[in-house]
Structure 1
Amino acid sequence: MTLSAAAEASPRLYSQIDHDDRGNFHYQGDLYRPADDLPTLCRRIEAHLASHFPEIRFAIRSERFSGGRKITAEVLDAPEDLSTREAQEVFITGVRDQIERFGFCRTNPLQDYWNCSFYSEVAIRQAYWGALAARRGKANPVDNLVSLASFKKRLKVGDSLTLLHAPYQHRALGATRKVIQIRSKDFVFEGRSYCDFPRASNFACDGRLVRIAVGNEHEPDAHLLYQWHPQRPE
C-alpha cells in the first residue's frame, strides 16, 4: 500500500540500501514532501529528471489504483545503447534512484509488509528502440510527409493496405487487406486482425508508404511497412 508516513531521510540512494537481518528495508529520499499530491509529485520528478539527465527524454505517467499509486518514467530517447540486459539494468537503477528520492519505502518481504509513498517503474519501450534504430540508420526509410494525426483523419473504411515488410516472418506478409473499422487507438482489417496506431515518433507516411516502428531490445529496427491504397470514390 502507499501512505504518506514519514521516515528519517537517508543520505544514500535507494539502490544502496540493504535489508537488515530481520528483512526490514527503510528508505526515505532527501526530496520527499509528505504534502505533495500526485500531479505535483510528477511535475517535480519530471523537472528533476530533465535537469539530472539533460540528454535523455522521458515521458512521465501516473496512475492510481486500490491501495496505491504509481509513477512510470518511460525513456523516449537516450544517447546510451541499451541493447544489452546489463546496460538496461544499470540505466534503470540510475534513473529509479533519482525517482525514489521523492518518496519513502518501508518493507519487510518476510512479513509480507509494504508501505511506500508510491510505486515506480522505469520503462524502455518502442519509442526508445525506434530512436536507437534512427541513430543506427533505418531500413526501408519513409519520408514523413503525412503526420499521424493527418493519417488518422484520411484513413477510411474500405481502404486497403499491403504489407510489404514485417519482422518474424509475419503471416500476412505480401497480403492486401481492407480496413473494416477505425477506432481511436487502432484500425481493424478484414479477418478481424488489427493494427495499433503508434506514437507519432514511430510513424512515417509519404502518402503511399506507411512505416510503423515496432522495435524491441532484440531487434531495435523491427518495423511494419505498408503500401496504402485509398478507396477510389465511386
Structure 2
Amino acid sequence: MLTDWPDRGYWQLDWNAQTYRWSQTARREARDIVQHPDLVAQWLQCEGTWFVGVDVLPSAPDGCVAGVPLCGPAAERIGARDDLHPAQVSITYPGYPRPRADESDAAFRYRRNRDAAHMDGVLAEGSPKRRFLRDRHDWILGLPLTETSPGASPLVVWEGSHHILQSAMINALGDIPDADWGSTDITEVYQDARKEVFATCRRTPLFTRPGEAVLLSPFLLHGVAPWQAAATASRDGRMVAYLRPESPAPGPIWIRQK
C-alpha cells in the first residue's frame, strides 16, 4: 500500500526506456488478444467502441509480460510485488462512447457527459442500481500501449477527489466491521461525494504515451473521455494496460491510509 500521495491524488511518470520495452511487448500480446473470437464476444462493448478486457493480458504476478519485466519509475514507486493480477487491456476506438448493452439512457448520458467517472471497487448492482464497495485496491497503474493524439479518449481524473471520496468511505464504513463492508449500501454517500467532486475538483485529462505511466490513488475519481472527432490513432485504437491489485492491508488501515 502506497502512502504520501500528492495532493492531486496521482503521479504522472516520465518516459523510460524499460517501461517502453514493456509497453511494446504488451501491445503485441494485446493485438493477439483482440483477435480471439471468444474474448471479443465477451469484452467488446459500447457498439464496438470499447474493449473492456478485464484481466486478459497474460502478465505474471510480478508484472512481467512475455519475459519482459515491469521496470522503470512506476515499478520503483510500487515496489516489488508477487501478487499482481493479469492486467486489464482497455481499448477505445473512434466513436467512443456508444451505449453499452442494457445501459439506461441516464447511464449513457453519464458516460458521455461525465466520462463514466467512478472510484474503482465501487460496483452498481441490482435494479434499481445500488452501490457497494466490493474491492479494495492498493493503487491503479495505467501503462499506455499505443501512440495517439491527445483527443483519443484519454484517462480523465478529478484532482484532489481522493480526499473527498476517502472521507465519504470512512463516514459510511469506518465504524462497522470490514467483513460487512461489501454488503453495506453506500449509494447515497457515494453519489453525494461525486457531486461534491464535480463541483469543487478540477477535471484533468492525462495524455500519456508508451513508455510513460500514471499511478492513481485507489480513492481518486477517474474516467475515460469521449473520442474527439479530430483525434488520431493507429488501427489498434487507444490501448492502455491497467494493474489494480487487491490490497493486503486490513480494512481499517486501508480506508484511513494517508
Interval of TM-score (by shorter of Structure 1 and Structure 2):
under 0.3
Higher helix share: 2
Q: Find the structure with the greater CA-based Rg.
A: 1
Higher strand share: 1
- The TM-score, its normalising length taken from structure 2, stands at 0.24
- The TM-score, its normalising length taken from structure 1, stands at 0.26
Higher relative contact order (CA 8 A, sep 6+): 2
